[in-house]
Amino acid sequence: MVDFADERIGETDMKLTHPWMIAGMMLIAPSATHAQLLPGGGGGLGAVGQAVPDIMDQLGGAVDAADLDRLSPARLADRLAAARATRVTDLLRRHGDRIELDDRREPARRGVILLTGADEGALDALRAAGYGVDGESVEGIDLAVARLTPPRDRSLARALRDARRIAPRAQASADNLYFPSGNAWFLASAALAGGGRVDGRLAGLIDGGVAQHPALSGPIEQRGFAQGAPRASAHGTAVASLISGEGVVRGGAPGASLLVADVYGDDPAGGGAFAIVRALGWMAARGVRVVTVSLVGPANPLLDGAIRLARDKGVILVAAVGNDGPAAPPAYPASYPGVVAVTGIDGRGRPLPEAGRALHVDFAAPGADMQAATTQGGKGAVRGTSFAAPLVAGRLLMRGDIAALRAEATPPTKGKTPVICGTCRNN
């Protein structure tokens, strides 16, 4: 955990150490994710050599972290809203052949509709209307999903409306995209961590792939759920180190075994709802107790149902509320009932001004003035609620259940959120 006794905030080479201490924070309106991987001592995460920019990079870094504390709330909200709009516009411009907007104008995989609860009569009617229909059962949560391919001349938004009219008793979802926080680059040269199958007490991570790193000495197993996956990523590596790192970066559960689901790979339309659902099913099938998802996107009926099914199997999801500011729409999956929603604070215990909002917030943890593992084997400064969530997840894994984690925190006073934190100390 992070100790705030040393307030030399701007300095680098900070290390997460125990023992854990508890504080309280004023509850801010928390939300959607795009944390930043900042340059700093020990190697910045922005300069990565021969890096291949991916969707994870294209959606982050639009607001300079140095400006966040100086802007008024109104100006910060305007800047973050403009950044969100720019990210979506740029995404469609770059990858319009793979991505389009759904009927709510949210980014999704082009030409994919996910259907649950449809009987054979409804599927036959959809085929007759020109839809391609393929079925798949998601392992671990016993969820049957029909993947529909709309007629080529039909937009996703129109196809969703038509599918709901043709199959009114079924539930139709777009394959919405979920984004990690910030300037994450994939490195063709970074070696993946881990090897074969890992058993025992596992911490789950749904993100990008995780690179080899000295701090990640515990067993790691990775599986891909997207084109080109698993593939090492800066974001996944940083988050993993804050779950189970020990040594140069110390996480919430040092040395814990990791089960990593890469839902991005090298796919411009990676991070889809269906990829996350399949990854969650894999986690449930393997008996994972705590899963970290530092990703944010819109509400999605398929993802909602999958989370409920995984929860019935004993899986606890810990999700970041994101960094699109308190004026952004509520973040998902953090806003779903039963998901542990986490916001971030800085080295002085102050709420991050860019922290988004969810329909509920359960814990806060350090999300700034700290460092995490880089894909080059060093450590670099990070900022965002993405990096608070794994600290909470690690402690939850160690404590065993949410009640015990709350007991670790000082009982919050009215209007405040319990903080899970450790020592941000220069070494």
Nearest CA to 379 among 209, 205, 237, 232? 237
- Note the pLDDT of residue 63: 52
What are the pLDDT digits (tens) for 105-163? 999 999 999 999 999 999 999 999 999 999 999 999 999 999 999 999 999 999 999 99
pLDDT exceeds 70 at position 19: no
Structure pTM? 0.84
Sign, Cα dihedral of 180, 67, 80, 266: negative
Residues of the chain with pLDDT > 70: what percent? 79
End-to-end CA distance of the chain: 15
Identify the residue with better confidence: 35 or 337.
337
What are the pLDDT digits (tens) for 251-290? 999 999 999 999 999 999 999 999 999 999 999 999 999 9
Nearest CA to 262 among 204, 340, 309? 204
pLDDT exceeds 80 at position 46: no
Residue type, 361: V
- Note the pLDDT of residue 120: 96
- Rounded Cα distance between 166 and 89, Å, is 31
- Rounded Cα distance between 29 and 324, Å, is 11
Domains of the chain in sequence order:
14-87+179-426 (3.40.50.200), 99-176 (3.30.70)
- Note the pLDDT of residue 76: 76
Q: What is the DSSP string of 199-252?
A: -SSEEEEEESB-B--TT--S-EEEEE-STT-S-BBHHHHHHHHHHH--SSS--S
Angle ∠(212,341,365) on CA atoms, nearest 5? 65
Number of H helices, E strands in the chain: 10, 23
- Note the pLDDT of residue 427: 28
- Note the pLDDT of residue 196: 83
pLDDT exceeds 70 at position 18: no
- Rounded Cα distance between 109 and 112, Å, is 6
- Rounded Cα distance between 233 and 190, Å, is 8
pLDDT exceeds 90 at position 12: no
The gap from C-alpha 234 to its chain's centroid, in whole angstroms, comes to: 13
| Element at 65 (helix H, strand E) | helix 65-68
- Rounded Cα distance between 164 and 175, Å, is 15
